[in-house]
C-alpha cells in the first residue's frame, strides 16, 4: 500500500528493511576495500526506494546485504522484522547480470523459481504466462538465453524474480541493457506492478529520470568509502503518467538535485 504522501517519515509506518550503521570491508590479497561505511537506511513496507551513485560505491553490495548473501563487517540489518543472518528466501532478486541458465528456455528459466521453492506447478505456470505476457516476452517463451537479446534476458530475470510474488523485491540495474523506449515501457510496467502488489522495492539504477519516476525516495550515494549522501523525497503524485511526470516541475527539481549531488561526488575525486 503506497502511502498517499511518500515523504512521510518511514518510521511512522511499519518498516520492511532496516539497515543500521552498516560497514562492509572486503579483504583481498592485494588490499582491503571499504565498500560501505556508516550506512543507515530504513525502508517502509510497500515503499519504492531507488539507489543511485557512481560506479563502485557499493550499491550492489548494499542489496546483497539486505538479501543476506553478504554479511556486514559492522552494523545490523533487519528484513521484514527479523535479523538477517544468512540468505533470505522471502525476496525476489534481479541480479546485475541476468544470470540465466543457458540450458533452459526462457519459460523454464522463469519456472526455476517455482521448482526451487516447490510451488504447485499449475499455478506457477499460469503465473509465468501472465508475467511473460506482461513483460512482452510472448513468442520467445521457448527461446534459449543465447537466442534472446540482452534486454529480453533481463526481462526473463525480472519475471523469475516476480514469480513467487515476493514481499520485497531487490533489483540491481535491471534495465541497464534495454534501449530507451523499452526501458520507458518497463518503467511504466514496473510502476504498475508495484502499485498492484504493494511490494517493497529497492532498485539500483544509473538513470536519474528512472529513479525519480519510479521511486518514493531516492538514495544518493558517493564512493570511497561508499556511503549515503542524501535521501531525496520525490513529491510526485502516486498516479504517475509518464509524459506528464517528465514535465512536472517537481520532477525537474528532484532530478536536478540528484544530478548536483552526483556531480559534486565525482568532482570531489
Partner 1 sequence: MESTQEAPAGVAERNRPRTAERALGFVQQAWRPVALLALLFVAWWVITATGLVQPYLVASPGDTFATIAEKSDYFWEHTLVTLWETVAGFLLASLVGVVTAVIMVYSTTIERTLYPLLLFAQVIPKIAVAPLFVVWLGFGVEPKILVALLMAFFPVVISMVTGLKSIDPEMLQLSATMGAGPVKTFYKIRLPASLPHLFSGLKIGATLAVTGAVVGEFVGSNEGLGYVIQQANGNFDTPTLFAGLVIMSVLGILLFALVEVLEYFVLPWHASRRIDAATTSL
Ligand X SMILES: Nc1ncnc2c1ncn2[C@@H]1O[C@H](COP(=O)(O)OP(=O)(O)OP(=O)(O)O)[C@@H](O)[C@H]1O
Query: Which one of partner 1, ligand X, Mg ion, none interacts with residue 45, CB within 5 to 8 A by kind?
Result: none
- Phi/psi at 68 (5° precision): 85, 10
Interface with ligand X, residue 33, by CB under 6 A:
yes
Among 10, 46, 58, 174, binds ligand X (CB under 6 A): 58
CA distance 125 to 15: 32
Q: Using an 8 Å Cβ cutoff, are 215 and 202 in contact?
A: no
Query: Does residue number 26 form part of the binding site for ligand X (CB under 6 A)?
Result: yes
Residue selected from 16, 60, 153, 199 as contacting Mg ion according to rule CB under 5 A: 60
State yes or no: residue 61 binds Mg ion (CB under 5 A).
Answer: no
DSSP 138-164: TT-TT--GGGS-HHHHHHHHHHHHHTT
Q: How far apart are CA 94 and CA 79, in angstroms?
A: 17
How far is the first Cα of the chain from the last one, in angstroms, to the nearest whole number? 40
60 binds ligand X (CB under 6 A): yes
Q: Tell me whether residue 186 or residue 211 sits nearer to partner 1 (CB atom).
A: 186
Q: Is 251 in the site for partner 1 (CB under 8 A)?
A: no
Candidate list 21, 81, 83, 87; residue touching partner 1; CB under 8 A = 87
The least CB distance from residue 108 to ligand X, in Å, is 28
**Within 33-149, where are the H helices?**
59-67, 106-117, 121-134
Binding segment (CB under 6 A) for ligand X, from list 26-34, 74-82, 156-164, 227-235:
26-34
With binding defined as CB under 8 A, does residue 181 bind partner 1? no
57 binds ligand X (CB under 6 A): yes
| Cα 140 to Cα 147: distance, rounded to the nearest angstrom | 9
Burial degree of 80 (CB within 10 A; 0-12, 13-18, 19+): middle
Q: Which three cell numbers stand for residue 61?
A: 553490495
**Cell of residue 76, nine digits:** 545490523
Residue 144: CB minimum distance to ligand X, A: 26
Residue 39 or 163 having the CB closest to ligand X = 39
Q: Answer whether 178's CB lies under 8 Å from 151's CB.
A: yes
Total residues interacting with partner 1, rule: CB under 8 A: 29
**Between 73 and 96, CB nearer to ligand X:** 96
Q: Which residues bind partner 1 (CB under 8 A)?
A: 64, 67, 69, 87-89, 91-93, 95, 97, 99, 101-103, 112-113, 115-117, 136, 138-140, 142-144, 146-147
Q: Which residues bind Mg ion (CB under 5 A)?
A: 60, 96
Amino acid at each position: 500500500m503506497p502511502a498517499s504522501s511518500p515523504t512521510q517519515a518511514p518510521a511512522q509506518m511499519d518498516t520492511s528493511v532496516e539497515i543500521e550503521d552498516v560497514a562492509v570491508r572486503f579483504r583481498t590479497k592485494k588490499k582491503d576495500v571499504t565498500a560501505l561505511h556508516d550506512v543507515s537506511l530504513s525502508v517502509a513496507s510497500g515503499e519504492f526506494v531507488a539507489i543511485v551513485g557512481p560506479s563502485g560505491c557499493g550499491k550492489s553490495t548494499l542489496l546483497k546485504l539486505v538479501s543476506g548473501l553478504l554479511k556486514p563487517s559492522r552494523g545490523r540489518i533487519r528484513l521484514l522484522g527479523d535479523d538477517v543472518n544468512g540468505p533470505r528466501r522471502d525476496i525476489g532478486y534481479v541480479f546485475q547480470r541476468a544470470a540465466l541458465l543457458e540450458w533452459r528456455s526462457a519459460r523454464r528459466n522463469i519456472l526455476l523459481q517455482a521448482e526451487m521453492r516447490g510451488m504447485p506447478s499449475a499455478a506457477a505456470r499460469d503465473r509465468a504466462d501472465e508475467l511473460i505476457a506482461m513483460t512482452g516476452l510472448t513468442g520467445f517463451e521457448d527461446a534459449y538465453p543465447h537466442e534472446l537479446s540482452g534486454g529480453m534476458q533481463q526481462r526473463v530475470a525480472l519475471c523469475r524474480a516476480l514469480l513467487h510474488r515476493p514481499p520485497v523485491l531487490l533489483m540491481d540495474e535491471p534495465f541497464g541493457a534495454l534501449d530507451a523506449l523499452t526501458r520507458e515501457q518497463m518503467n511504466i510496467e514496473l510502476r504498475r506492478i508495484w502499485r498492484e502488489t504493494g511490494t517493497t522495492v529497492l532498485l539500483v539504477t544509473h538513470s536519474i529520470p528512472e529513479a525519480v519516476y519510479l521511486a518514493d525516495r531516492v538514495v544518493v550515494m558517493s564512493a570511497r568509502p561508499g556511503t549515503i549522501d542524501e535521501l531525496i523525497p520525490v513529491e510526485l503524485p502516486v498516479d504517475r503518467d509518464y509524459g506528464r511526470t517528465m514535465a512536472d516541475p517537481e520532477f525537474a527539481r528532484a532530478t536536478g538535485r540528484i544530478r548536483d549531488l552526483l556531480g559534486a561526488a565525482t568532482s570531489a575525486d
